């Protein structure tokens, strides 16, 4: 494994590294960690990497890795830069024959997303998109409950992702995380909706298997001088007739990472909170509320995907890193099957891919269009 | 006190009676409890009332009570019938010089609401509207925190009221509660939004002191053959620039009475759940989450209204009936001040009134208009 | 109904009044509310009572009520004085032919308790003891689950009642509640254990139907100068072989009224918290955790006693007053059956009585003996 | 790093490996993973280890590693075998000059523990004991609050560790985990108390800095035919005059790993639950309940140890593996300082060591003595 991005002070790159490392099946051996070559080197040292494989930039990395014998060369690259770099890096590595794991949102805009889809299909390489919340075992359980018909036809979906860290103009205090996320040139046209609204969208579609069909969006910039939305509220209509609400916010003061979803079917309701990820609430009329707890046999009996995504017995909590690692596990097992020319475990194919990335960019495109429109509903094209 | 409505099998009439009775300052002495005179009599017997003051209908009640000496006559009437009867009964009692406590929604439509407002103003009688959730001490505390500027300018409000009891066609099984609530002739133009969406609207405006300015509504009828909405999702814009979401549902399967509100100001956030009413969550950046618990001195120090609405020490939970009774307390104290020609306690004036009722009907009118409109925003007139 | 005790500033007398009043079937008509006759009169006025039936002391009350025609006379008296007065008042009213509702702990010491039991049996009057926590519907549900064998043979019981209000020497600040509770002459030999430990004991025996057989107690006085225990930890052994822990405290700082119980059988576990009384947690191996919620049909199907103790639909919370009122309901229905010479509903007999009171005093007697003993186990006699 | 134990099917060895691997500063290079050499080899292959450094048993491992040049040789060994093997393995590696990380309980009995202490002191090697719960940031925060005097003098401590997995005779079904834990020859004299009661003891002493002085224990074997306690309840007295309760159970049906602690000082109370490890509840009279949430600046401002033990921003939950890894971090940083002859960070010294191990064995020794005694209190020697 190699990495582009994730230099000193970066949050998500470090998470990728810990997640990839968790199960012992993936080794980080190369990287271009920062746009500043000095910082890239520094990070390489901190990671005990061979200095020869710590590069000044991604292009150098690509060239030099290509010159290594195939057995020494990295198998895949993780792209964890700001959004505007995702596309060129992913494209170039794919074209050179590497598999790619890409941080979300997949690209800077919809056009790039569609182009990347073509490139992935053509390359026949494995492409993973880090929608990490789909790595939680209880999220996979929920997905399997819905797909097995346990909750009946889905009628209503509420999904939210409120945070508070951008409630003030943090980007003007030198905070690197805030600065690129609020800069249209690095983030794209959507701020809060791109950064976390896209997680909410992905979670809703992943669990229910439904597609958003129409959106009515109300985006706001609350912090003066900011150029991208820091709050958004959307009404949703899904392709099966379900209705819903999606809201995300970076000014919901006092909230940390309160991603949560409520799904109501004709027979049962489901509820999951990412800050308490080991529990799935299952509601059925005239029955006690059920709290399904990760790591139990009854969970595995319902969802092999949940069991596969579990490392500890029930009651020993698992959390964010493990969910992240579960995406890497499936991604790496799929690559491993390619390398060994074996058939991958069906369950290993369960990780977000380029199609999810296109959905995400379509979602943002539609949200932005709706936000500017006086019409109630804006169709989300496919 | 007299009562119209609340016959055998009625839910809310019985709640009114227990609430009014709670503190010993109100006595039920007369009633026309059911549109069926036999059932009215039966209810009178169950309540140990003097049979002479159990009437066949509200008109008879009005006439006969008027003939009693003023000292024996009821001071006020509680109107707890289906919605279509609220207006004529309230009107006639007000015109006859009685004070009135009315169940919500106040009237059948906006026109009646506006007319009733004129009648109330002209009558100079005390008119209370049973928005019972504003009777909770922690709701009053939240209101006082906002009005004292504790949370700063309000930016975002999420308010919800999901239930599940109408997830199937209960109205076709002979259930009385379901039957009138889903009947446009008895309920008015709004179903779920009228029954519980109006509570959500009132709660948001009560706590924040803000007014909804624009609404974008998506109403749905999920149960086949039903004629009124059983689910509704709304985007909101408030008069101070705050944005929000209001959703209510009677098909959110597995939910009981999950009314809850999240309010985010520039400085702090508030969260309250009606199913756990003794707690108010207060969130401040870089501070521990605070759980304010009913009945403590620090609650009373911040909110005299909360202290006044509290009967038990902290840790002994209070709940639905007590909140309901708090509305009656203030209403009755205001009447008592009139009767004794004294100045009422300032805090006694804290109960929902005819203006809240007009707001509620305006809200429903706007929601219904928006639901039919292709435009994103529909203005809520005043 | 008449009342002895519950004068101005008293907590529990006011709770008795609200609870008795809740359902409309009990009317307070007489009282000797305070040891200070002036205060007794004042309370009578506040309660709108006929001044003729507000007495200077309980003996006067007894004499004068006896002179009234039987139809006007009170049917029962509620004894809500400090503990040292319970016995003489209950005795005299029983001997005079009145039914009695008595606040807990039943008497000042075990000897009085045993004597009162004789008097009650001889009098053939209805005697109720206010162990209010047994009035909660979910507590009755738990009791019925255990007695129907749902959880299997009980192995382990943890019951706690931590409070914090006596963490400092509140009794030396003029606080009336604190002052009598920490005075051995008014409270008896046990402080914290008498005031709230006895609730924990009663709850454990009520739900499980088991009897404590042996106790190992460690009582402490943490606040200097206090004469009665303000904290107590006990190991328990039950008559079926179950083991347990009971702890109560008035110095557990920050706790309000955190009475809670955990019961583990061979098949299932139960958990209930008095501060969240509408939920009963049911735990079964290899099954989701179940949260039984008050007011649902499945609760009533398992426990008719729980259904009978419920006034509101699920999701509209009930709390402390309603539980208290449920004890009054059953007590009053039992008296009513006597007065009408009908057979009472079997379920109406479900209220704590003189035998529970004797158990309570036996418990305290054993705890006090154990606390002084160097032996591990002290037998609880019967 | 090398490992002894942790073969196929073992739970805790795999946890050690993931925890050690988490931060990239520790590499597993050698092991004797199973008492069955074939299984040891199998595990080595699964871990992609150099087959030459996968050994048939720990003695072979020791000998052969000693023959490697110092720079290639493992720096430390992790001992994750059943309890009876801890002592000889730790002893031999220490004597040979290796640092040692040992799973708890440290030894088979008190005598071994005391001897190991001597060996560690004499060897001057770094010895870590895996009391993983002390690795949680919020546990370290609690410890720092107590030591900084925030909660005042500690009065009462309740600590519990209920599980349910041995509620039936699982050891007779071939379950390896259950089998050695219930076997006195492999586990030692204590069953449940050794396996998890010792965690509770360690947690209480770690957070409060107090020492248990006297114990009154009631141990039970509920499952027929079992030879070691599967449940235990203890009264505690601490060296500062605090009183407490410790209970642990493997038959508390429906519980998973419900380790929790409540600490009451003269000024504040603390509460922490290992199943919700990111929160510390802080209770102060006449103040709102505070929920301190991991990852915030105010947490770090109070506790540098908590900040050091945190990898993710607040709201992204951390859990069991990370706590485990925090013990490894400090242990490894301490070794690293030795290797580089630098002064270790003061905070790196914060990991359980041989003294904690002796305390643990003293605790078990005292509990076992008390359980057999008819006296109430048994002193815990030092």
- Per-residue pLDDT, B32: 98
Of D282, D286, D292, the CB nearest to B298: D286
- Per-residue pLDDT, D187: 87
> Which residue, chain included where needed, has tokens 């000082």?
D265
Nearest-CA distance from D306 to chain C in Å? 23
Nearest-CA distance from A339 to chain D in Å? 16
- Per-residue pLDDT, C286: 95
- Pairwise CA distance, residues A355 & A371, whole Å: 24
What percent of chain C has a predicted confidence (pLDDT) above 70?
A: 100
For residue C97 the two structure tokens come to 């032919």
C69 touches chain A (CB under 8 A): no
Nearest-CA distance from D309 to chain A in Å? 15
- Pairwise CA distance, residues C351 & C332, whole Å: 10
- Buried residues in C132-169 as b, exposed as e (16+ CB within 10 A): bbbbbbbbbbbbbbbeeebbeebbbbbbbbbbbbbbbe
Residues pairing with C265 in the sheet:
C154
Is it the case that residue C148 has pLDDT exceeding 90?
yes
In the DSSP assignment, the letter for residue B227 is -
Task: Tell me the mean pLDDT in the region C94-106.
Answer: 97
Which of residues B94 and A381 earns the better pLDDT score?
B94
- Per-residue pLDDT, B22: 94
Report yes or no: D324 and D19 within 8 Å, Cβ to Cβ.
Answer: yes
Q: Which residues of A fall within a CB distance of 8 Å from B222? A: 155
- Per-residue pLDDT, D9: 86
A105 touches chain B (CB under 8 A): no
Q: Residues B137-155: pLDDT tens digits?
A: 999 999 999 999 999 999 9
- Per-residue pLDDT, A209: 98
- Buried residues in A326-342 as b, exposed as e (16+ CB within 10 A): bbbbbbbbbbbbeeeee
**Are A256 and D322 a contacting pair at CB < 8 A?**
no
Write out residues 141-180 of D within 8 Å (CB-CB) of A. Answer: 163, 165
Q: Which residues of D fall within a CB distance of 8 Å from B290? A: 288-291
Task: Tell me the mean pLDDT in the region C180-207.
Answer: 95
Q: Residues A340-373: pLDDT tens digits?
A: 999 999 999 999 999 999 999 999 999 999 999 9
- Per-residue pLDDT, A378: 98
- Global pTM value: 0.97
Q: Residues C114-126: pLDDT tens digits?
A: 999 999 999 999 9
> Which residue, chain included where needed, has tokens 């229910």?
A208
ipTM of the complex: 0.96
Read off φ and ψ for residue A173, nearest 5 degrees. -105, 5
Closest residue of D to C157, CA-based?
Answer: D252
A251 touches chain B (CB under 8 A): yes
| Chain A contact probe: residue of D317, D328, D329 with most A CBs at under 10 A | D317
- Per-residue pLDDT, D381: 87
| Chain C contact probe: residue of B24, B43, B49, B255 with most C CBs at under 10 A | B24
The number of residues in chain A equals 382
- Per-residue pLDDT, D119: 98
Of D288, D292, D296, the CB nearest to B298: D288
Closest residue of B to A290, CA-based?
Answer: B254
Q: Which residues of D fall within a CB distance of 8 Å from A17? A: 24
pLDDT band at B187 (very low <50, low <70, confident <90, very high): confident
- Pairwise CA distance, residues C298 & C296, whole Å: 5
For residue A165 the two structure tokens come to 């860290």
- Pairwise CA distance, residues B126 & B353, whole Å: 8
Of D282, D288, D296, the CB nearest to B286: D296
D275 touches chain A (CB under 8 A): yes
Report yes or no: C352 and C327 within 8 Å, Cβ to Cβ.
Answer: yes
Is it the case that residue A9 has pLDDT exceeding 90?
no
* Across A215-219, A320-324, D187-191, least confident range: D187-191
Q: Which residues of B fall within a CB distance of 8 Å from A162? A: 262, 264
C296 touches chain A (CB under 8 A): yes
Q: Residues B302-356: pLDDT tens digits?
A: 999 999 999 999 999 999 999 999 999 999 999 999 999 999 999 999 999 999 9
- Per-residue pLDDT, B304: 98
D282 touches chain B (CB under 8 A): yes
- Per-residue pLDDT, D176: 85
Q: Which residues of B fall within a CB distance of 8 Å from A273? A: none
Query: Would strands A2-5 and A76-80 be described as parallel, antiparallel, or unpaired?
Result: parallel
**Per-residue pLDDT tens digits of chain D, which is 382 residues long:** 999 999 998 889 999 999 999 999 999 999 999 999 999 999 999 999 999 999 999 999 999 999 999 999 999 999 999 999 999 999 999 999 999 999 999 999 999 999 999 999 999 999 999 999 999 999 999 999 999 999 999 999 999 999 999 999 999 999 988 998 999 999 889 999 999 999 999 999 999 999 999 999 999 999 999 999 999 999 999 999 999 999 999 999 999 999 999 999 999 999 999 999 999 999 999 999 999 999 999 999 999 999 999 999 999 999 999 999 999 999 999 999 999 999 999 999 999 999 999 999 999 999 999 999 999 999 998 7
B313 touches chain D (CB under 8 A): no
In angstroms, the first-to-last Cα distance of chain A is 33
Closest CA to B137 of B349, B329, B346, B319: B319
Task: Tell me the mean pLDDT in the region B165-186.
Answer: 93
pLDDT band at A122 (very low <50, low <70, confident <90, very high): very high
Report yes or no: B263 and B209 within 8 Å, Cβ to Cβ.
Answer: no
Closest residue of B to C10, CA-based?
Answer: B312
Is it the case that residue C151 has pLDDT exceeding 90?
yes
Residues pairing with B262 in the sheet:
B158, B271
Nearest-CA distance from A151 to chain C in Å? 16
Is it the case that residue A126 has pLDDT exceeding 90?
yes
In the DSSP assignment, the letter for residue C20 is H
Is it the case that residue A338 has pLDDT exceeding 90?
yes
- Pairwise CA distance, residues A35 & C348, whole Å: 78
**Are D231 and C155 a contacting pair at CB < 8 A?**
yes
Of A47, A163, A256, the CB nearest to D24: A47
| Chain A contact probe: residue of D11, D12, D14, D18 with most A CBs at under 10 A | D18
Task: Tell me the mean pLDDT in the region A251-256.
Answer: 98
For residue B80 the two structure tokens come to 């707890």
Q: Residues A75-95: pLDDT tens digits?
A: 999 999 999 999 999 999 999
**Are D277 and A317 a contacting pair at CB < 8 A?**
yes
For residue B120 the two structure tokens come to 């109330």
Distance of CA C86 to the CA centre of its chain: 13
| Chain D contact probe: residue of C253, C256, C281, C379 with most D CBs at under 10 A | C253
């Amino acid at each position: 494994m190699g990495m582009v991005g994730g230099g000193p002070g970066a949050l998500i790159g470090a998470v990728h590294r810990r997640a990839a490392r968790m199960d012992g099946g993936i080794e980080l051996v190369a990287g271009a960690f920062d746009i500043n070559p000095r910082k890239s080197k520094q990070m390489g040292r901190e990671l005990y990497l061979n200095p020869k494989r710590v590069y000044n930039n991604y292009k150098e990395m690509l060239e030099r890795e290509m010159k290594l014998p195939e057995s020494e060369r990295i198998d895949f690259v993780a792209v964890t830069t700001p959004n505007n770099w995702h596309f060129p890096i992913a494209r170039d590595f794919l074209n050179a024959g590497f598999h790619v794991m890409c941080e979300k949102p997949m690209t800077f805009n919809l056009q790039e997303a569609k182009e990347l889809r073509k490139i992935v299909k053509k390359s026949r390489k494995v492409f993973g998109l880090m929608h990490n919340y789909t790595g939680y075992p209880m999220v996979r359980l929920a997905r399997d409950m819905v797909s097995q018909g346990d909750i009946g036809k889905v009628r209503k979906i509420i999904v939210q992702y409120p945070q508070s860290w951008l409630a003030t103009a943090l980007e003007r205090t030198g905070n690197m995380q805030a600065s690129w996320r609020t800069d249209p040139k690095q983030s794209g046209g959507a701020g809060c909706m791109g950064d976390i609204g896209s997680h909410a969208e992905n979670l809703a579609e992943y669990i229910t298997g439904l597609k958003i069909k129409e959106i009515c969006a109300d985006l706001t910039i609350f912090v003066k001088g900011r150029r991208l939305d820091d709050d958004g509220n959307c009404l949703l209509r899904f392709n099966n007739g379900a209705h819903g609400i999606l809201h995300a916010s970076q000014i919901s003061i006092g909230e940390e990472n309160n991603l949560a979803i409520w799904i109501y079917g004709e027979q049962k309701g489901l509820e999951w909170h990412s800050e308490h990820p080991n529990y799935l609430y299952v509601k059925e009329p005239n029955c006690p509320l059920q709290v399904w707890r990760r790591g139990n046999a009854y969970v595995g009996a319902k969802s092999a995907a949940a069991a596969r995504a579990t490392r500890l017995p029930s009651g020993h909590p698992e959390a964010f890193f493990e969910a992240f690692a579960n995406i890497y596990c499936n991604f790496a097992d799929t690559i491993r099957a390619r390398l060994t020319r074996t058939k991958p475990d069906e369950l290993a194919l369960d990780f977000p891919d380029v199609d999810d990335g296109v959905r995400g960019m379509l979602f943002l495109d539609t949200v932005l269009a709706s936000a500017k429109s006086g019409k109630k509903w804006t169709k989300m094209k496919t």
